[in-house]
């Protein structure tokens, strides 16, 4: 089953320096029908103005993944970690027993990103942070970016949850079959593409989302150069 979530129906917040689009209830946006998707709790599609950002704030027992779409984000936390994640790179933070962090756009250009929160499978773990650059060229499939499975540890960023996040560029007229382990949330980061399960065919454009349930796989057909993210999470 494919459920289309149009960009126009996302929760909106405009703070001047931050323009946020919420796929699920978050902060002052509350929609009882959009609380989460299995263990997936937050997807924020954010625009951050130059020389601004999120001052130090706490998290605990949550896996927080940041996918940078354009620009760069600078992270600093109470563990002493500091790093700048560029477009095409991904950072993860396991908040565990508790961590304070800040995230700023220190450049002269706007920053766009997805921030994704997934419930931790194991509470009270030691907090951690890491980032990695992944191939940015187009391919015929979506690379694995993030995983909580032991067999993926050499090829993906680690999180404490039995979930996987795939993402990358698909060239126009490319068709790829993507397997699903549990259930998946698809994000149209850029471009236009169609998702089909054989009986349903749903078109997504930039900013849209889609919930995929009760499917073992989907086909993704890129109608133009597209950037696609697939979040496969347990219920």
If we measure between CA atoms, which residue out of 29, 24, 27 comes closest to residue 12?
Answer: 29
Tens place of pLDDT per residue across the chain (235 aa): 999 999 999 999 999 999 999 999 999 999 999 999 999 999 999 999 999 999 999 999 999 999 999 999 999 999 999 999 999 899 999 999 999 999 999 999 999 999 999 999 999 999 999 999 887 777 778 999 999 999 999 999 999 999 999 999 999 999 999 999 999 999 999 999 999 998 999 999 999 999 999 999 999 999 999 999 999 999 9
Show the domains of the chain with their CATH numbers.
2-233 (2.60.120.10)
Percentage of residues in the chain having pLDDT higher than 90: 95
DSSP state at residue 137: S
Report the C-alpha gap between 230 and 188 in whole angstroms. Answer: 9
Q: What is the dihedral of CA 113, 100, 163, 83, to 10 degrees?
A: 50
pLDDT in tens, 133-182: 887 777 778 999 999 999 999 999 999 999 999 999 999 999 999 999 99
pLDDT for 138? 74
Look up residue 41 and give its two tokens: 């709790």
Q: What is the average pLDDT score of the chain?
A: 96
pLDDT for 179? 97
């Amino acid at each position: 089953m494919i459920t289309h979530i149009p960009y126009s129906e996302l929760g909106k917040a405009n703070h001047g320096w931050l323009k946020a689009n919420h796929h699920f209830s978050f902060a002052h946006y509350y929609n009882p029908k959009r609380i989460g998707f299995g263990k997936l709790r937050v997807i924020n599609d954010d625009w951050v103005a130059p020389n601004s950002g999120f001052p130090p704030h706490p998290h605990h027992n949550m896996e927080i993944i940041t996918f940078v779409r354009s620009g760069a984000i600078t992270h600093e936390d109470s563990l002493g970690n500091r790093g700048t994640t560029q477009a095409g790179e991904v950072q993860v933070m396991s908040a565990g027993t508790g961590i304070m962090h800040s995230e700023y756009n220190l450049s002269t250009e706007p920053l766009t990103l997805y921030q994704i929160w997934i419930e931790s499978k194991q509470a009270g773990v030691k907090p951690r942070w890491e980032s990695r650059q992944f191939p940015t060229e187009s391919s015929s499939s979506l690379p694995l970016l993030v995983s909580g499975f032991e067999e993926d540890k050499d090829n993906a960023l680690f999180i404490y949850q039995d979930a996987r996040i795939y993402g990358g560029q698909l060239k126009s007229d490319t068709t790829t079959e993507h397997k699903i382990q549990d259930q998946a949330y698809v994000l149209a980061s850029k471009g236009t593409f169609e998702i089909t399960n054989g009986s349903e065919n749903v078109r997504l454009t930039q900013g849209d989302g889609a919930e995929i349930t009760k499917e073992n796989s989907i086909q993704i057909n890129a109608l133009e150069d597209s950037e696609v993210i697939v979040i496969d999470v347990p219920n």
